[in-house]
Amino acid sequence: MRYGMNIGKHYNFLGTEVEALTYPEFFTHVDRWVANKNGRSRHIAIINAFCATEAFHNSRVAEIYNKADLIGPDGMPFVYWLRWVLKRPCEQFDASSIVTNLAENAREAGYTFYLYGGHPDVVVQMKEKLEALYPHINIVGYFSPPFRPMTDAEDKRICDEINKLKPDIICVGLGTPKQDYWIDEHIYKIKGAVFIPCGAIFDFFGGRVQRAPKVIRKLGIEWLYRLFSKDIKRLWYRYTVLNLIFLWNFFLQEIGRRKYEPMRSIRDDR
Protein backbone atom coordinates (compact mmCIF):
# COMPACT_ATOMS: atom_id res chain seq x y z
CA MET A 1 0.00 0.00 0.00
CA ARG A 2 1.04 3.62 -0.22
CA TYR A 3 2.77 5.32 2.70
CA GLY A 4 -0.32 7.44 3.21
CA MET A 5 -3.78 8.23 1.96
CA ASN A 6 -4.73 8.86 -1.66
CA ILE A 7 -5.20 12.64 -1.94
CA GLY A 8 -7.48 14.03 -4.62
CA LYS A 9 -8.33 12.45 -7.96
CA HIS A 10 -5.68 10.64 -9.94
CA TYR A 11 -4.94 9.17 -13.36
CA ASN A 12 -2.85 6.15 -14.27
CA PHE A 13 0.19 6.95 -16.45
CA LEU A 14 1.82 3.60 -17.34
CA GLY A 15 1.19 2.25 -13.85
CA THR A 16 1.94 5.42 -11.87
CA GLU A 17 -1.07 7.20 -10.38
CA VAL A 18 -0.60 10.95 -10.79
CA GLU A 19 -2.94 13.24 -8.88
CA ALA A 20 -4.75 16.42 -9.91
CA LEU A 21 -4.19 18.90 -7.11
CA THR A 22 -3.97 22.64 -6.41
CA TYR A 23 -1.50 24.37 -4.12
CA PRO A 24 -4.11 25.43 -1.51
CA GLU A 25 -5.06 21.74 -1.21
CA PHE A 26 -1.39 20.82 -1.05
CA PHE A 27 -0.66 23.31 1.76
CA THR A 28 -3.54 21.90 3.81
CA HIS A 29 -1.87 18.50 3.83
CA VAL A 30 1.65 19.86 4.38
CA ASP A 31 0.46 21.85 7.40
CA ARG A 32 -1.08 18.74 8.90
CA TRP A 33 1.97 16.58 8.20
CA VAL A 34 4.60 18.93 9.63
CA ALA A 35 2.54 19.48 12.79
CA ASN A 36 3.41 15.93 13.88
CA LYS A 37 7.18 16.01 14.46
CA ASN A 38 7.15 12.55 16.03
CA GLY A 39 5.45 10.88 13.08
CA ARG A 40 7.09 9.41 10.01
CA SER A 41 8.18 11.68 7.21
CA ARG A 42 6.18 12.17 4.02
CA HIS A 43 7.16 11.75 0.37
CA ILE A 44 6.01 14.08 -2.40
CA ALA A 45 6.72 12.36 -5.73
CA ILE A 46 6.64 14.37 -8.96
CA ILE A 47 6.12 12.71 -12.34
CA ASN A 48 6.88 13.69 -15.90
CA ALA A 49 7.33 11.56 -19.03
CA PHE A 50 10.89 10.63 -18.05
CA CYS A 51 9.87 9.58 -14.53
CA ALA A 52 6.88 7.59 -15.80
CA THR A 53 9.11 5.80 -18.32
CA GLU A 54 11.72 5.15 -15.63
CA ALA A 55 9.02 3.61 -13.44
CA PHE A 56 7.72 1.62 -16.42
CA HIS A 57 11.14 -0.03 -16.80
CA ASN A 58 12.20 -0.09 -13.12
CA SER A 59 9.90 -1.91 -10.71
CA ARG A 60 11.63 -0.45 -7.65
CA VAL A 61 11.01 3.10 -8.86
CA ALA A 62 7.38 2.24 -9.69
CA GLU A 63 6.89 0.86 -6.20
CA ILE A 64 8.42 3.96 -4.58
CA TYR A 65 6.27 6.35 -6.60
CA ASN A 66 3.05 4.51 -5.87
CA LYS A 67 3.79 4.45 -2.13
CA ALA A 68 4.29 8.22 -2.02
CA ASP A 69 1.92 10.37 0.02
CA LEU A 70 1.29 12.54 -3.00
CA ILE A 71 2.17 12.13 -6.69
CA GLY A 72 2.02 15.45 -8.51
CA PRO A 73 2.29 16.23 -12.24
CA ASP A 74 5.68 17.70 -13.12
CA GLY A 75 5.28 18.34 -16.85
CA MET A 76 2.61 20.70 -18.22
CA PRO A 77 1.33 18.06 -20.71
CA PHE A 78 0.39 15.97 -17.66
CA VAL A 79 -1.36 18.97 -16.12
CA TYR A 80 -3.36 19.67 -19.28
CA TRP A 81 -4.34 15.99 -19.56
CA LEU A 82 -5.48 15.79 -15.93
CA ARG A 83 -7.55 18.97 -16.26
CA TRP A 84 -9.18 17.67 -19.44
CA VAL A 85 -9.87 14.09 -18.34
CA LEU A 86 -10.69 14.62 -14.65
CA LYS A 87 -12.53 17.94 -15.14
CA ARG A 88 -11.02 19.50 -12.06
CA PRO A 89 -8.41 22.18 -11.25
CA CYS A 90 -4.81 21.02 -11.43
CA GLU A 91 -1.54 22.89 -11.04
CA GLN A 92 2.00 21.97 -12.04
CA PHE A 93 4.00 20.30 -9.28
CA ASP A 94 7.50 20.54 -10.68
CA ALA A 95 10.24 20.79 -8.05
CA SER A 96 10.92 24.48 -8.64
CA SER A 97 7.25 25.43 -8.29
CA ILE A 98 6.87 23.31 -5.16
CA VAL A 99 9.91 24.84 -3.45
CA THR A 100 9.08 28.43 -4.40
CA ASN A 101 5.44 28.02 -3.34
CA LEU A 102 6.51 26.47 -0.04
CA ALA A 103 9.06 29.25 0.47
CA GLU A 104 6.40 31.89 -0.18
CA ASN A 105 3.85 30.15 2.05
CA ALA A 106 6.47 29.90 4.80
CA ARG A 107 5.89 33.63 5.37
CA GLU A 108 2.66 32.66 7.14
CA ALA A 109 3.15 28.97 7.90
CA GLY A 110 6.70 29.29 9.27
CA TYR A 111 8.06 26.18 7.52
CA THR A 112 11.72 25.39 8.14
CA PHE A 113 13.90 23.94 5.37
CA TYR A 114 16.89 21.62 4.98
CA LEU A 115 18.85 21.17 1.73
CA TYR A 116 20.35 17.75 0.97
CA GLY A 117 22.32 17.19 -2.21
CA GLY A 118 24.19 19.02 -4.93
CA HIS A 119 27.84 20.00 -5.25
CA PRO A 120 29.19 21.74 -2.09
CA ASP A 121 29.35 25.11 -3.85
CA VAL A 122 25.94 24.66 -5.46
CA VAL A 123 24.04 23.85 -2.26
CA VAL A 124 25.53 26.94 -0.59
CA GLN A 125 24.58 29.09 -3.58
CA MET A 126 21.06 27.64 -3.54
CA LYS A 127 20.72 28.50 0.15
CA GLU A 128 21.92 32.06 -0.47
CA LYS A 129 19.61 32.47 -3.48
CA LEU A 130 16.55 31.31 -1.57
CA GLU A 131 17.41 33.59 1.35
CA ALA A 132 17.80 36.53 -1.05
CA LEU A 133 14.48 35.83 -2.77
CA TYR A 134 12.61 35.04 0.45
CA PRO A 135 14.16 37.00 3.37
CA HIS A 136 11.75 35.35 5.80
CA ILE A 137 12.85 31.80 4.91
CA ASN A 138 14.46 29.70 7.64
CA ILE A 139 16.96 27.20 6.21
CA VAL A 140 18.16 25.33 9.28
CA GLY A 141 20.90 23.31 7.58
CA TYR A 142 22.32 21.78 4.43
CA PHE A 143 24.56 18.89 3.41
CA SER A 144 26.35 17.92 0.21
CA PRO A 145 26.90 14.14 0.28
CA PRO A 146 30.13 12.70 -1.12
CA PHE A 147 30.28 11.22 -4.63
CA ARG A 148 30.48 7.71 -3.19
CA PRO A 149 28.22 5.50 -1.07
CA MET A 150 28.08 6.79 2.49
CA THR A 151 28.98 4.44 5.31
CA ASP A 152 26.30 3.44 7.80
CA ALA A 153 28.02 5.58 10.42
CA GLU A 154 28.07 8.62 8.12
CA ASP A 155 24.44 8.14 7.21
CA LYS A 156 23.39 7.78 10.85
CA ARG A 157 25.31 10.91 11.77
CA ILE A 158 23.55 13.03 9.16
CA CYS A 159 20.14 11.54 10.07
CA ASP A 160 20.78 12.36 13.74
CA GLU A 161 21.73 15.91 12.77
CA ILE A 162 18.58 16.38 10.68
CA ASN A 163 16.37 14.92 13.42
CA LYS A 164 17.94 17.30 15.91
CA LEU A 165 17.24 20.29 13.63
CA LYS A 166 13.64 19.10 12.98
CA PRO A 167 13.13 20.71 9.56
CA ASP A 168 9.64 20.73 8.09
CA ILE A 169 10.73 20.51 4.45
CA ILE A 170 13.74 18.55 3.14
CA CYS A 171 14.77 19.35 -0.44
CA VAL A 172 16.64 16.34 -1.86
CA GLY A 173 18.72 17.03 -4.96
CA LEU A 174 20.43 13.82 -6.04
CA GLY A 175 18.88 13.29 -9.48
CA THR A 176 16.31 10.72 -10.59
CA PRO A 177 16.09 7.92 -9.50
CA LYS A 178 18.88 8.25 -6.89
CA GLN A 179 16.95 10.82 -4.87
CA ASP A 180 13.86 8.59 -4.90
CA TYR A 181 15.88 5.69 -3.51
CA TRP A 182 17.32 7.95 -0.81
CA ILE A 183 13.89 9.23 0.22
CA ASP A 184 12.47 5.71 0.37
CA GLU A 185 15.39 4.54 2.52
CA HIS A 186 15.11 7.48 4.95
CA ILE A 187 11.38 8.03 5.30
CA TYR A 188 11.37 6.28 8.67
CA LYS A 189 14.88 7.30 9.76
CA ILE A 190 14.00 11.00 9.68
CA LYS A 191 10.93 12.12 11.61
CA GLY A 192 8.19 14.60 10.84
CA ALA A 193 9.50 16.10 7.58
CA VAL A 194 8.16 16.40 4.04
CA PHE A 195 10.64 15.16 1.41
CA ILE A 196 10.71 17.01 -1.92
CA PRO A 197 12.75 15.40 -4.77
CA CYS A 198 14.43 18.43 -6.32
CA GLY A 199 16.78 17.16 -9.02
CA ALA A 200 17.89 19.96 -11.32
CA ILE A 201 16.64 22.87 -9.24
CA PHE A 202 19.79 22.73 -7.12
CA ASP A 203 21.58 23.69 -10.33
CA PHE A 204 18.91 26.28 -11.21
CA PHE A 205 19.12 28.04 -7.86
CA GLY A 206 22.85 27.39 -7.61
CA GLY A 207 23.43 29.23 -10.88
CA ARG A 208 24.94 26.33 -12.83
CA VAL A 209 21.98 25.91 -15.21
CA GLN A 210 19.67 28.59 -16.58
CA ARG A 211 15.98 27.72 -16.43
CA ALA A 212 13.62 28.26 -19.35
CA PRO A 213 11.64 31.53 -19.40
CA LYS A 214 8.23 31.35 -17.74
CA VAL A 215 6.31 31.59 -21.02
CA ILE A 216 8.11 28.51 -22.35
CA ARG A 217 7.37 26.61 -19.14
CA LYS A 218 3.67 27.50 -19.36
CA LEU A 219 3.53 26.23 -22.92
CA GLY A 220 4.79 22.87 -21.68
CA ILE A 221 7.96 22.85 -23.81
CA GLU A 222 10.63 23.45 -21.17
CA TRP A 223 12.05 20.07 -22.17
CA LEU A 224 12.70 21.45 -25.67
CA TYR A 225 14.47 24.50 -24.26
CA ARG A 226 16.66 22.31 -22.08
CA LEU A 227 17.34 19.90 -24.92
CA PHE A 228 18.95 22.64 -27.00
CA SER A 229 20.78 24.20 -24.07
CA LYS A 230 24.20 23.32 -22.72
CA ASP A 231 22.68 20.09 -21.35
CA ILE A 232 22.03 18.58 -24.79
CA LYS A 233 24.67 15.85 -24.46
CA ARG A 234 23.14 14.68 -21.20
CA LEU A 235 19.47 15.16 -22.04
CA TRP A 236 19.02 14.23 -25.71
CA TYR A 237 18.29 10.56 -24.94
CA ARG A 238 15.81 11.47 -22.20
CA TYR A 239 13.89 13.99 -24.28
CA THR A 240 13.88 12.10 -27.57
CA VAL A 241 14.05 8.33 -27.13
CA LEU A 242 12.45 8.08 -23.67
CA ASN A 243 9.70 10.59 -24.47
CA LEU A 244 8.81 8.59 -27.60
CA ILE A 245 8.74 5.37 -25.54
CA PHE A 246 6.36 7.06 -23.10
CA LEU A 247 4.09 8.43 -25.82
CA TRP A 248 3.84 5.09 -27.63
CA ASN A 249 3.04 3.09 -24.51
CA PHE A 250 0.60 5.72 -23.24
CA PHE A 251 -1.16 5.61 -26.62
CA LEU A 252 -1.44 1.82 -26.36
CA GLN A 253 -2.82 2.21 -22.84
CA GLU A 254 -5.43 4.74 -23.93
CA ILE A 255 -6.74 2.64 -26.83
CA GLY A 256 -6.96 -0.41 -24.57
CA ARG A 257 -4.17 -2.43 -26.16
CA ARG A 258 -2.15 -2.55 -22.96
CA LYS A 259 -3.00 -2.31 -19.29
CA TYR A 260 -0.58 -1.08 -16.63
CA GLU A 261 -1.54 -1.74 -13.03
CA PRO A 262 0.04 0.43 -10.30
CA MET A 263 2.69 -1.52 -8.40
CA ARG A 264 1.89 -1.75 -4.70
CA SER A 265 3.79 -3.04 -1.71
CA ILE A 266 2.95 -3.70 1.90
CA ARG A 267 4.81 -1.54 4.39
CA ASP A 268 4.35 -1.24 8.13
CA ASP A 269 3.11 2.35 8.49
CA ARG A 270 3.66 2.93 12.19
- 264 domain residue, yes or no: no
What are the tens digits of pLDDT across the range 250-261? 999 999 888 887
- 261 domain residue, yes or no: no
Confidence of residue 68 (pLDDT cuts 50, 70, 90): very high
- 36 domain residue, yes or no: yes
3-state secondary structure 70-100: EEEECCHHHHHHHHHHHCCCCCCCCHHHHHH
Q: What average pLDDT does this structure show over 202-220?
A: 69
What are the tens digits of pLDDT across the range 151-199? 999 999 999 999 999 999 999 999 889 999 999 999 999 999 999 999 8
- 267 domain residue, yes or no: no
Confidence of residue 200 (pLDDT cuts 50, 70, 90): confident
- 148 domain residue, yes or no: yes
- 161 domain residue, yes or no: yes
- 2 domain residue, yes or no: no
Q: Which amino acid is at 179?
A: Q
Is pLDDT larger for residue 144 or for residue 237? 144
CA torsion angle 211 212 215 221 (round to 10): -130
Is the preceding peptide bond at 177 cis, omega within 30 degrees of 0? yes
Range name among 187-196, 233-242, 261-270 with the lowest pLDDT average? 261-270
What are the tens digits of pLDDT across the range 76-96? 889 999 999 999 999 999 999
Give pLDDT, residue 3.
44
What is the CB neighbour count within 10 angstroms for residue 33?
20
What are the tens digits of pLDDT across the range 24-61? 999 999 999 999 888 899 999 999 998 999 999 999 99
Domain count, the chain: 1
* Structural domain containing residue 145: 10-254
What are the tens digits of pLDDT across the range 106-143? 999 999 999 999 889 999 999 999 999 999 999 999 99
Give pLDDT, residue 211.
67
Beta pairing, strands 16-20 & 9-13: antiparallel
DSSP bridge partners of 258: none
- 156 domain residue, yes or no: yes
**21, 46 Cβ separation under 8 angstroms:** no
